[in-house]
């Protein structure tokens, strides 16, 4: 987790860097940020140069400085980490980017748009990376966003306490400064199609639509009130925070008991958000053990520190309303202990508030696999948040022709030009191609796809000039 540094702390930290000939930090950075050089510029007090160096590879340094898992990437590879005092690279990146935003530094000139017209669908990390990289190369880039404000998961998925929305807005402003145009409240599919975009003169189209459809559990009681997906819950809370929704509509009430299903980073975000919004208790349920938790260790520890409870080897098999919970016989499970019950569930009724969960115990076999047992336990709660992953929506693919997806709905792309789908001129990367990943991994792939788009548009224009 990056920490906010004073200028004195940042300079002292920069002075510790050894400026290694073969810098491990750079190797560990998925987008090969020139870390030694930006640290050197910072040490020399040249913050403008430091920001320019960072901006060569990254369009979102203030965001990366906050949400990248530095402890697993650049900082893990820093030579000084072996002596347990690695350079705080994430904190330095954040310091430089924040300074640049505060003083309005603009490292790149505005695009003249002469090299071609590119439409970018979606403004999450993948879309913003492609937009920034192409605008820097003099493409005219228009970003289409379905929400009221750009940023995608950065704006509506990652909670405020992990990533301030003012920081996201500042990064987006930097992209506007280099000529990227944003069109919000436009849903590609219903409002405008890929074919319309080509007809409107775009040379290439990039789909960075992420995995917009949250996975749900197809079990009894799934339709009960207050059984929500984490995407929906986090978006509602952010809309309340942005003043666009009444506090009453943020679903979770102060004093509620909340169950979160899943143990990835989104589950930690949802659990910590519920704690901050005054939940009486928050319990994360996971069908495996703590060893298999997919959230970053730092996020898991942060959730524990904030009082989130964890119950492992349990999987929901029904959501029950309050009456059904009362009708069930047997001992209730608390956040710290469990007991088997003799359960009699009543018929499920529609849209009553959820009152609890029937969970099945899971056992780990000798070969490491996890199998359900016949033992059930009950857990009382007022709200269930499902954080069990996402899948791509078919909105774009189903409203045009020629874009093939695999059996799970992920878009198929090719190596040459890098990132092009089965439809010429339409490119894709990020979660909609590879499944959910971190911000920086989406950026890494998207940088390569931006190169593929540039090659494609150049080649197409050349062929047109030759009369082919």
Using the contact rule CB under 6 A, the part of the chain among 21-29, 142-150, 315-323, 371-379 near ligand SF4 is 21-29
Query: Among residues 24 and 436, whose Cβ is nearest to ligand SF4?
Result: 24
If one asks whether residue 18 binds ligand SF4 (CB under 6 A), the answer comes out as yes
- Binding ligand SF4 (rule: CB under 6 A), the pick from 2, 5, 10, 23 is 23
Residue 303 tokens, joined: 């959730």
Should residue 127 be labelled a site residue for ligand SF4 when binding is judged by CB under 6 A?
no
Q: Is 284 helix (H, G, I), strand (E, B) or coil?
A: strand
Candidate list 14, 31, 35, 130; residue touching ligand SF4; CB under 6 A: 35
For residue 62, count CB atoms less than 10 angstroms from its CB and return exposed for 0-12, middle for 13-18, buried for 19 or more: buried
H helix runs in 17-147, sequence order = 24-28, 35-43, 47-57, 61-67, 74-77, 89-102, 125-136
Which of 5, 10, 14, 17 is close enough to bind ligand SF4 by CB under 6 A? 17
Q: Does 454 bind ligand SF4 (CB under 6 A)?
A: no
For position 90 contacting ligand SF4 by CB under 6 A, the verdict is: no
Mark residues 47-86: x for contact with ligand SF4 by CB under 6 A, - for none: -------------------------------xxx------
Residue 87 touches ligand SF4, criterion: CB under 6 A: yes
186 sits near ligand SF4 (criterion: CB under 6 A): no
204 touches 420 (CB < 8 A): no
Distance between the two ends of the chain, CA-based, in angstroms?
Answer: 54
DSSP string, 105-139: ---SPPP--BT-EEEEE--SHHHHHHHHHHHHTTB
Of 379, 346, 337, which Cα lies nearest the Cα of 360? 379
The region of 32-40, 149-157, 166-174, 215-223 touching ligand SF4 under the rule CB under 6 A is 32-40
Q: Among the candidate windows 33-41, 215-223, 379-387, 425-433, which touches ligand SF4 by CB under 6 A?
A: 33-41
Pick 25 or 384: Cβ nearer ligand SF4: 25
Comparing CA positions, the residue from 153, 385, 381 lying closest to residue 270 is 385
Q: Which residue, 7 or 18, has its beta carbon nearer to ligand SF4?
A: 18
Closest by Cα among 423, 64, 405, 421 to 213: 405
Give contact residues for ligand SF4 (rule: CB under 6 A).
17-20, 23-25, 35-36, 39, 78-80, 87, 89
């Amino acid at each position: 987790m990056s920490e906010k540094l004073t200028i004195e702390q940042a300079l002292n930290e920069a002075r510790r860097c050894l400026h290694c000939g073969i810098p491990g930090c750079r190797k560990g950075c998925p987008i090969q940020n020139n870390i030694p050089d930006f640290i050197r510029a910072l040490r020399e007090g040249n913050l403008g140069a430091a920001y320019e160096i960072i901006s060569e590879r990254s369009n979102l340094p203030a965001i990366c400085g906050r949400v990248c898992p530095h402890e697993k990437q650049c900082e893990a590879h820093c030579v000084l980490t072996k002596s347990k005092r690695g350079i705080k690279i994430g904190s330095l990146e954040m310091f430089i980017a924040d300074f640049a935003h505060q003083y309005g530094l603009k490292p790149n000139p505005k695009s003249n748009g002469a090299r071609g017209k590119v439409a970018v669908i979606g403004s999450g990390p993948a879309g913003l990376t492609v937009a920034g990289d192409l605008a820097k190369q003099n493409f005219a880039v228009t970003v289409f966003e379905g929400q009221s404000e750009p940023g995608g998961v950065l704006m509506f998925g990652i909670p405020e306490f992990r990533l301030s929305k003012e920081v996201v807005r500042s990064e987006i402003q930097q992209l506007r400064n280099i000529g990227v145009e944003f069109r919000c409240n436009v849903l590609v599919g219903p409002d405008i199609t890929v074919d319309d975009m080509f007809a409107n003169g775009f040379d290439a189209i990039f789909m960075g639509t992420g995995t917009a459809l949250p996975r749900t559990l197809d079990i009894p009681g799934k339709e009960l009130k207050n059984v929500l997906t984490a995407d929906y819950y986090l978006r509602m809370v952010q809309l309340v925070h942005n003043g666009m929704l009444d506090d009453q509509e943020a679903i979770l009430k102060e004093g509620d008991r909340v169950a979160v299903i899943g143990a990835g980073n989104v589950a930690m975000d949802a659990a910590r958000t519920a704690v901050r919004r005054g939940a009486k208790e928050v319990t994360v349920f996971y069908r495996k053990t703590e060893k298999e938790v997919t959230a970053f260790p730092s996020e898991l520890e942060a959730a524990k520190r904030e009082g989130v409870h964890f119950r492992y080897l349990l999987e929901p098999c029904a959501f029950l309303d309050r009456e059904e919970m009362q009708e069930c016989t047997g001992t209730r499970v608390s956040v710290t202990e469990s007991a088997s019950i003799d359960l009699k569930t009543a018929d499920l009724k529609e849209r009553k508030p959820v009152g609890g969960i029937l969970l099945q115990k899971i056992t780990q076999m000798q070969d490491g696999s996890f199998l359900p047992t016949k033992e059930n336990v009950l857990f009382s709660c007022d709200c269930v948040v499902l954080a069990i992953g996402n899948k791509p929506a078919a909105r774009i693919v189903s409203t045009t022709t020629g874009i093939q997806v695999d059996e799970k709905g992920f878009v198929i792309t090719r190596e040459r030009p890098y990132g092009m789908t089965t439809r010429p001129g339409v490119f894709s990367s990020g979660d909609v191609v590879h499944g959910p990943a971190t911000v920086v991994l989406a950026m890494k792939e998207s940088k390569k796809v931006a190169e593929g788009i540039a090659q494609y548009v150049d080649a197409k224009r050349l062929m047109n000039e030759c009369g082919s």
